[in-house]
Amino acid sequence: MLHVAFLYHNVPMITLAEKLVQVSPKGLTKCFFAGGGAEAVEGAVKLAKKYAVVNGKAGLQIISLEHSFHGRTALALTLTGQSKYKVNQGAFANVPGVIYAPAPYCYRCVLEYPDCGLWCAKFIEEVIELKTTKQVAAFIMETVLGEGGIIVPPKEYLTAVRKICDEYGILLILDEIQSGCGRVGKMFACEHYEVTPDIMVVGKGVGGGMPLSAVVAKEKVAAAWTAGDHTHTFSGHPVVCAAGIAALEVLAEEKLPENAEKVGSHILQGLHSLKEKHALIGDVRGLGLMIGVELVKDRKKKTPATEEASKIKSAMVKRGILIGVGGLKKNVLRIQPPLTLTVEHADMLIDALDKSFTELS
């Protein structure tokens, strides 16, 4: 069953497509399955470009965000708005036609939200008007920027982006590989913003640990692909699709998105208390169980505390808890635990962090 090629329809693949459409934002009705997130991202961009051409545009350009991360294949790495992943990669990470816009990074912005007037969203128009040939196929972003330091856009940001994309006839691609499948307290992060993309990319959690990802699109967009336009030999084979079905069923039956919301809120509350106690914590942000703690040497200057973040991570390992470190300067603690985390586990996490900060200071 592992060797059933994509050419052959199979019941698990069709069933998973149906289930994925049922839990996706309304209007996303067509699925294509791939093996990993980067494959799905490249497939989504390829579909957007084909859609642009079919509708009379050259569709050569894609707008992405600074601080973003979309994968490590050639195009996905080019879409990634962080140089640290591209060192010594040369032309491999320089596919033509990708242009970057500022990320909705409120903590590091020179303006202050909400008085900023959503400058970061409005700047996308400046990018279109000044830096493109007006042949833009799509704007792609992680709904919550993960590797970039758990950057959570302001509530109105995605609404503004959706409006700009519509005005310029540009497709909106949302990368939900990290933020999707219940992690942020809803099935997908875009539900927090009440915005539906034209194409959504799903990965990681959707396979329950198996190599599975998906491109989910509106019907009119998916119609741009004809037979043979895009495929991977073993994408959508019965075994991984069966795992995907099981994963979606467990998410629903065990109410894991709701648990992520409850436990995540508890963690955020605890982290805000730690911020009052430990000067090293500059900012606390997150949705559900996708949480970032940005460490700074000086709160006024916001100097990144890169070394300190690494030491906290190591101190947490010694206490039996795994956390990540991310952000452009690797100074953001990334807390993205299993969705089965309990409030009791969360209290252990907060206590361990408290002791680790105290030990470091």
Domain boundaries, the chain: 11-253, 256-360
List the strands of the sheet with 28-34, edge to edge.
28-34, 213-218, 199-202, 171-175, 136-142, 61-65, 98-101
CA–CA distance, 98 with 82 (Å, rounded to integer): 13
CA–CA distance, 34 with 202 (Å, rounded to integer): 10
Hey, what CATH topology would domain 11-253 get?
Answer: Aspartate Aminotransferase; domain 2 (3.40.640)
Q: Please answer whether residues 13 and 236 qualify as being in contact, where contact means their C-beta atoms are separated by less than 8 angstroms.
A: yes
Q: Is 243 left (phi over 0), alpha (psi -120 to 50) or beta?
A: alpha
256-360 architecture in CATH? Alpha-Beta Complex (3.90)
- What confidence score (pLDDT) does residue 290 get? 98
- What confidence score (pLDDT) does residue 91 get? 74
Q: Which residues contact 88 (CB under 8 A, 6 or more apart)?
A: none
| Residue in 342, 192, 143 with CA at minimum distance from that of residue 254 | 342
Regions of the chain where pLDDT drops below 70: none
Residue-wise pLDDT tens digits, 246-257: 999 999 999 999
CA–CA distance, 310 with 50 (Å, rounded to integer): 43
pTM above 0.95, yes or no: yes
State both tokens at 283: 């900012």
- What confidence score (pLDDT) does residue 11 get? 95
Q: Please answer whether residues 198 and 162 qualify as being in contact, where contact means their C-beta atoms are separated by less than 8 angstroms.
A: no
- From residue 49, how far is each of 28, 60, 137, 287, 297 by CA, in Å? 18, 7, 5, 31, 44
Helix-, strand-, coil-residue percentages of the chain, each rounded to 5: 40, 15, 40
- What confidence score (pLDDT) does residue 213 get? 97
Question: How many helices and strands, by DSSP H and E, does the chain display?
Answer: 11, 11
Residue-wise pLDDT tens digits, 121-174: 999 999 999 999 999 999 999 999 999 999 999 999 999 999 999 999 999 999
